[in-house]
Structure 1
């Protein structure tokens, strides 16, 4: 299972009323403007949680008893309705209202697509893939950095009736080969900068007849026998439209888990999962407004699209609501700052290392955030002190530019919780139609009292179908009645705001006591000489396990091991002390979304 992610969202103070949003929450009986709904909504509206629809969302009755006597924590936002449609249809449903607005722009070379051009291009891509002999339900591997053509590829694959498996472009050929084989890929789309590596993986495990399509990113050359990506759009114009025989319950995306808790597994996500989660978030917090003649959200997209956070928390939702996405293939400080300089950026989707960069870099100035009304930080927890440092450095009003934290998983498409921004350590409350349980790790009984920790279980229309060709892993993660075991330890407070304490498999067991690494890491980062920290458990003959810290020190600082240990003493219980020692390192190993790879430190 992929590790948990924090997803941050903010409600803009001044925006259109909910009744003006074209995708309406039918279950809340809001007015429907027929002119604003096209055939997407005609596909059928499916009410969720019908058996529990009558449950009150007041504090006293937020916890209801299920048919198996389970204690279910309901969302204060109630239920959500969503169109039973395909993800590419959902994304483009309103684009005819702003066809000439820029949808996609490359942050490197400035290449642009309007919404009308992007919508047509995805249709042409789907037609061309069909014309190559691909069949409904075939898997197409997308291995490319963030470019406009990467987004078009993803939606084009859907429009052709295929399944996209996104692969980390930083993988080695061997790592790519593993995913290509497991996903049974029938075609590959990549870019020239990494084409040689991807081609090596293809040659080692797939038929030589497998279509190899290459985006020209102006870096590297086109391998012999490859198909230029631009040909898909050019040739597709003269091909007949695809007659799709797909439903919202068909698989459309096959991202692979990060592998932090075992071998990577293909997560089978349906059109329904992606569409419902977008509407679950939108119903819970009216985050963005559609573009007008004078306003359009502008978002630099550096979060990798192959990751579920980049895909269905940024790429699909923001296009659905008419934002302009500026793609960034790789985080380079000068490039990122240049984009902030040249564009009226309104929102930032980040991971903690980017927030730390924005705070520390002398090149970043207050005027870069003049139009920013929200900062979204995800994939790993962001400490309150890091947020405060940002506000203090730039003297920014937190009511105008506000952080929001939340929680998601690849297996849940991804968002489950959204915070209010008032409790930085909290992931917030479960979003509309997301049911939650806390299950005691030892007794396996449901927890219904605030302050008690247990494993977090999730249920809703956004939960995956299962793991590809891995029945055992699916059964270990999904119960027969649809509850997904997250593997995360959590508790809720008196306001039903939730807090993640750690991963079930990452908890350090010291003399029978549970020690969350995240707690010690946050404490270590408070030391004036510490830049980054990671904590793992190592075997101990007497105690079972003891905590060991890996520390990156700040420039020109030279703390000793005793300095760090003395700093910890008195701040935590005796069994949480760093008996495993301290190792000073140059960097902490992390995956592409910023999550600490603890397995590599053991």
Structure 2
């Protein structure tokens, strides 16, 4: 039960036995997976292969033995995973934890420049990559002497590792150690590494499982389309292993494949992002499939309009009631901080739910920082045991994000109602959210300024009903330049990953509006958008 004191909201207390636990995630999941036994845990819809919970555990021990004795991975060493979704993902993560290592989860769509930046931050000793990403990882890794091995998943994760038992003894360590590094873009440019402790993920998973379990029971069948390298997908993995649900794994989105998987596998719980919700609400393919098995849909990673939320509930639910709900979180908050509990029967006016156990939240005035009351909008701030340890090797950004009193400033603007449900209405930060991915304007601006015909540049997010926002550039051309919009779009397209492309178009201007200190005035730029131009 959430309560308020002096305009600060507090979630229910975390049980003392959880707070006092010294269990790391290796110990925690060994115990849970052992209890779940030979029940089917994972299904790959692409080739029909499957893992039981015992398979996950046995494979993790075999991979851990290989990591320790053949690769020399020790406690606190970083191991990078560069892969699309695979049923091997949970076993690889667990294996790294068994030896006391730290998992760094990379977006497999990163190009060479982006990967180079993140490798410099994390300095992994070993990179595990899918076949698709092998060449880019191998070629990028050549310049770094700290990377000792680049190993394809299909080489290390074979049938022997899935089914042979192994007497590997996990490394013992306390749970304040970093378990995973996820990547979060900042307003100042390139992505930052967010390090989350074993304890924060253990507490979050335990709280969800024990108190506000959003799934009805362990017979639920979950859709595993959300990318596993992303905090959202990482949390789905953890919840699957802790609750004992079946997870149906998709490597990529294809409309027919996605819908056929729901029908054939009888998916009961669907995890989604807003673009997928738009698809469910509007696409004609929906009517060709039987989706009646779905009982609940959870949308996250970006805000979703109430209209779309209601449309999905009506279209997918048809003659039965289904839950279509939103949650809110960020990587720096161990992924999730507000959600609706299992007793919520319907969407609450577009709310993202209430504080989870153990967390405190407040809405502060944008001018004076004072906490505001009911239905008053300001910046959302949170504190509690699920906060990140820090930005990896970046104390300056850590201090800028978490204040002296331990409050993490999200940069998101919202409010809470009289029932203490939170609502998200805008973002204070300048990040662009495209299809749930974070895009830093400064990164694209720096790239644009390397073009000889571009004198100045600014990037904003152009609102888009399907994707959330589209990166759009304002360009000041060099004198006598014949640069076209198409030239700029292609220049960026060739050098960034898909989510960072200028899908919002390009607009040429005489100057970029800035304040006296040189900061770009993006709100002014949004008012300059030429609505008659082709975007």
- TM-score normalised by the chain length of structure 1: 0.69
Map Cα deviations across residues 491-548 of structure 1 (whole Å, 9 max, x no partner). Answer: 122222222221112499xxxxxxxx99x95xx85xxxxx667489999xxxxxxxxx
Q: Which residue of 1 aligns with 2:508?
A: none
Q: Which residue of 1 aligns with 2:330?
A: 409
Gaps in structure 2 of 5+ consecutive residues: 433-459, 475-523
The alpha carbon displacement at 1:241 in A equals 2.0
Map Cα deviations across residues 540-572 of structure 1 (whole Å, 9 max, x no partner). Answer: xxxxxxxxxxxxxxxxxxxxxxxxxxxxxxxxx
Matched, 1:194 2:133: yes
**8 Å Cα contact 2:56/2:90 also seen in 1:** no
Q: Which residue of 2 aligns with 1:149?
A: 88
Q: Which residue of 2 aligns with 1:274?
A: 201
Gaps in structure 1 of 5+ consecutive residues: 1-56, 66-70, 217-226, 509-516, 526-530, 540-574, 587-602
Structure 1 residues 164 and 533, CA gap change in structure 2 (3 angstroms):
closer
**8 Å Cα contact 1:98/1:115 also seen in 2:** yes
Q: Which residue of 2 aligns with 1:74?
A: 10
Q: Which residue of 2 aligns with 1:122?
A: 60
Q: Which residue of 2 aligns with 1:177?
A: 116
Residues of 2 paired with 1:300 and 1:287: CA distance? 14
Structure 1 residues 350 and 536, CA gap change in structure 2 (3 angstroms):
closer
Q: Which residue of 1 aligns with 2:387?
A: 463
| Between 384-393 and 128-137, the greater mean CA deviation after superposition | 384-393
**8 Å Cα contact 2:414/2:422 also seen in 1:** yes
Residues of 2 paired with 1:213 and 1:150: CA distance? 14
The alpha carbon displacement at 1:106 in A equals 1.1
Q: Which residue of 1 aligns with 2:37?
A: 99
**8 Å Cα contact 2:134/2:152 also seen in 1:** yes
**8 Å Cα contact 2:59/2:91 also seen in 1:** yes
Residues of 1 paired with 2:61 and 2:91: CA distance? 9
Q: SS where residue 414 of structure 1 aligns?
A: coil
**8 Å Cα contact 1:256/1:265 also seen in 2:** yes
Matched, 1:396 2:318: yes
Q: SS where residue 205 of structure 1 aligns?
A: coil
Q: SS where residue 331 of structure 1 aligns?
A: coil
Q: Which residue of 2 aligns with 1:49?
A: none
Residues of 2 paired with 1:147 and 1:321: CA distance? 19
Matched, 1:580 2:504: no
**8 Å Cα contact 1:377/1:404 also seen in 2:** yes
The alpha carbon displacement at 1:391 in A equals 3.5
Q: Which residue of 2 aligns with 1:42?
A: none
The alpha carbon displacement at 1:161 in A equals 1.0
**8 Å Cα contact 1:140/1:188 also seen in 2:** yes
Q: SS where residue 499 of structure 1 aligns?
A: strand
Q: CA RMSD in A?
A: 3.0
Structure 1 residues 84 and 578, CA gap change in structure 2 (3 angstroms):
same
Structure 1 residues 304 and 196, CA gap change in structure 2 (3 angstroms):
same
**8 Å Cα contact 1:164/1:252 also seen in 2:** yes
**8 Å Cα contact 1:538/1:580 also seen in 2:** no
Map Cα deviations across residues 438-467 of structure 1 (whole Å, 9 max, x no partner). Answer: 2212112222x2122222111111101101
Equivalent positions of 1:546-585 (< 5 A) are 580-582=529-531
Residues of 2 paired with 1:121 and 1:395: CA distance? 39
The alpha carbon displacement at 1:435 in A equals 0.5
Matched, 1:300 2:223: yes
Residues of 1 paired with 2:319 and 2:203: CA distance? 33
The alpha carbon displacement at 1:88 in A equals 3.2
Residues of 1 paired with 2:170 and 2:93: CA distance? 18
Q: Which has the higher contact order (CA 8 A, sep 6+)?
A: 1
Residues of 2 paired with 1:338 and 1:471: CA distance? 47
- TM-score normalised by the chain length of structure 2: 0.77
Residues of 2 paired with 1:371 and 1:324: CA distance? 14
The alpha carbon displacement at 1:368 in A equals 3.1
Q: Which residue of 2 aligns with 1:203?
A: 142
Residues of 2 paired with 1:130 and 1:507: CA distance? 39
Map Cα deviations across residues 365-413 of structure 1 (whole Å, 9 max, x no partner). Answer: 3863222111011111111211232244445256x31111120010111
